[in-house]
Structure 1
Amino acid sequence: MSKATLPEDLQEKYIVPGLERGLRLLCEFSRKDSTLSAAELARRLQVPRSTVFRLLTTLEMMGFVERTDGGREFRLGMAVLRLGFEYLASLELTELGRPLLDRLRDDIHYPCNLVVRDGRSIVYVAKSVAPTPFASSVNVGTRLPAHATVLGRVLLEDLSLAELRELYPESQLEVFSESTPRTVEQLFEMVQHDRQRGYVLQEGFFEASISTIAAPVRDRSGKVAAAMGATIPASRIDPEQLGPMVEQVRHAADELSRLLDYRPAAEHKVVNLYRE
């Protein structure tokens, strides 16, 4: 909702002037005006030059603007570019993944999810619910610990042992079930077996009554960009259906990888993930 669409009596209550000014300042830069001085920005925004200097200092510290022309002018910084790339990447992933999730759900008749990693957490970015009595407890935006979930294990596959130790510097990992790895070394061994297998199927890894099938989604660089999975009540698994279901999940994940321009033949040479 823009400021113009807010009732006048709510604008004063909900609009943050400093944030609004900072965003308006960023919007003044364009292809035509790629560099601007503080004086010009103050004139355009019709605010005191001291206010513009405070805004510019804050934005410069965060990487959204940078100085040029000996410090007399400013231009957009790399943080703006990263935001744009992250937006495009997330839009591409969810928009391309949604139809595949729906089709997978229709094929296997269980809820299907697409998740990405944010540090030590997984974040659900898309979900397709099956019309069954079984209701998943997660929604889009739900965050769960990466090391303690099947989907999280898939998202950790590309990390070396040294990178995992940097992500989890503690000597003992937080335990959520009997299946949770206790140390980084145990976690690393687990995810490397997952990597070699190409998928994960496990019962009760995070919740006792839930089984998950998960497979990696890779982007054009060959890195794991997301994990696609199906959630199944453990008591309802038919062993004869498991093989076909695993293949359906893997096929859907591979198809999304292809849509993200992943080409297995173009992968970089295998690196030593055990490096310190």
Structure 2
Amino acid sequence: MTQERLSEDTQDKYIVPGLERGLRLLAEFSRRDRTLSAADLARRLKVPRSTVFRLLATLEMMGFVERTDGGRDYRLGMAVLRLGFEYLASLELTELGRPLLDRLRDDIRYPCNLVVRDGRSIVYVAKSVAPTPFSSSVTVGTRLPAHATVLGRVLLEDLTLAELRQLYPEPQLEVFTPSTPRTVEELFEMVQRDRERGVVLQEAFFEASISTIAAPVRDRTCKVVAALGVTIPASRIDPEQLDMMEEKVRDTAGELSRLLDYRPREHGKVVNLYRE
């Protein structure tokens, strides 16, 4: 028996099935599926409905789910929100980044965001809204596909081609607009061009009416830990104004990186991102 197999067996010994099912149940709720019935959850989790009712009763008692007005369906409760916001508030990244986002928003008068990567998704962890008619529909906690967003491309900059293939093993990537990369190789080439520039401006990459300017935030390990971005209308903006915005986004991301104790590596140390 291999060491890897021994590790899996040891890990399985400590798994609590009821807790695992409860967490999997909570994970079924999303922006698309805000309410679900016990029958829906039983079908998705492939467990008896009686088991789902016991899980829901426990989670409802603790405030993690609540019944909707009709009483038949369920939705996430306030306890989940408290956990999420407590986590976000505990992040040094968001504490340091929020005043910088506010300052950037005041400078350019458009919504500013800070996001992190969770696997194949980006998660918005801080947002600063501008007092203008133009607004973005995303909120703190919103998740979007990393490969199909400008902010996600920035968060993928450190990954090698082999690591990207491991993250996206499918032959074809999900396409959202004509600009979405269709293969891992196409995504990798796009990400490397972004890396060389240090800041990305892309029109209508995820949504037709939205453009994004984004730059990476690095910590003391020199790894990209977040992406800082500005959402602007996809209509034409004066090139000089765009240049100013790019510079401010890049500078703000650099300032946040320095606050996270980022120090650029000495020149001459090159990473082979094409390694297999």
TM beyond 0.5: yes
TM-aligned CA deviation for residue 269 of structure 1: 2.5
1:270 aligned partner, one-letter code: V
Partner of 2:140: 140
Change (3 A) 1:131 1:235: same
Length-normalised TM-score, structure 2: 0.68
Partner of 2:8: none
The separation in 2 between residues aligned to 1:12 and 1:129, in whole angstroms, is 34
Change (3 A) 1:192 1:90: farther
Unpaired runs of 5+ residues, structure 2, are 1-56, 64-86
The separation in 2 between residues aligned to 1:192 and 1:98, in whole angstroms, is 28
TM-aligned CA deviation for residue 90 of structure 1: 5.5
The separation in 1 between residues aligned to 2:235 and 2:88, in whole angstroms, is 40
TM-aligned CA deviation for residue 265 of structure 1: 3.7
Partner of 1:113: 113
The separation in 2 between residues aligned to 1:249 and 1:11, in whole angstroms, is 46
Deviations 1:95-124 (A, max 9, x none): 000000000000000000000000000000
Unpaired runs of 5+ residues, structure 1, are 1-9, 17-86
1:221 and 1:267 in contact (8 A); partners too = no
Partner of 1:14: 61
Count, aligned residues:
198
- SS of 2:257's equivalent? helix
**Alignment of 1:204 onto 2:251:** no
TM-aligned CA deviation for residue 15 of structure 1: 3.4
TM-aligned CA deviation for residue 88 of structure 1: 9.3
Length-normalised TM-score, structure 1: 0.68
- SS of 2:139's equivalent? coil
| Aligned 1:5-84 pairs, distance under 5 A | 14-15=61-62
Partner of 1:156: 156
TM-aligned CA deviation for residue 266 of structure 1: 5.7
Partner of 1:74: none
**Alignment of 1:229 onto 2:229:** yes
1:222 and 1:267 in contact (8 A); partners too = no
The separation in 1 between residues aligned to 2:219 and 2:267, in whole angstroms, is 10
| Aligned 1:256-275 pairs, distance under 5 A | 256-265=256-265, 269-275=269-275
2:88 and 2:125 in contact (8 A); partners too = no
2:89 and 2:95 in contact (8 A); partners too = no
- SS of 2:251's equivalent? helix
Deviations 1:39-85 (A, max 9, x none): xxxxxxxxxxxxxxxxxxxxxxxxxxxxxxxxxxxxxxxxxxxxxxx
Deviations 1:213-261 (A, max 9, x none): 0000000000000000000001152222011110000010000000000
2:202 and 2:212 in contact (8 A); partners too = yes
Change (3 A) 1:167 1:257: same
Greater displacement, 227-236 / 163-172: 227-236
Percent sequence identity is 82
1:115 and 1:122 in contact (8 A); partners too = yes
1:222 and 1:268 in contact (8 A); partners too = no
**Alignment of 1:93 onto 2:93:** yes
The separation in 1 between residues aligned to 2:94 and 2:248, in whole angstroms, is 19
Change (3 A) 1:165 1:89: farther
2:216 and 2:253 in contact (8 A); partners too = yes
Change (3 A) 1:147 1:252: same
RMSD: 2.4
The separation in 1 between residues aligned to 2:59 and 2:122, in whole angstroms, is 37
TM-aligned CA deviation for residue 152 of structure 1: 0.2
1:202 aligned partner, one-letter code: Q
TM-aligned CA deviation for residue 142 of structure 1: 0.3
**Alignment of 1:165 onto 2:165:** yes
Change (3 A) 1:173 1:255: same
Change (3 A) 1:199 1:90: farther
Max Rg structure: 1
Partner of 2:130: 130
Deviations 1:12-63 (A, max 9, x none): 96139xxxxxxxxxxxxxxxxxxxxxxxxxxxxxxxxxxxxxxxxxxxxxxx
The separation in 2 between residues aligned to 1:259 and 1:12, in whole angstroms, is 39
The separation in 1 between residues aligned to 2:202 and 2:216, in whole angstroms, is 15
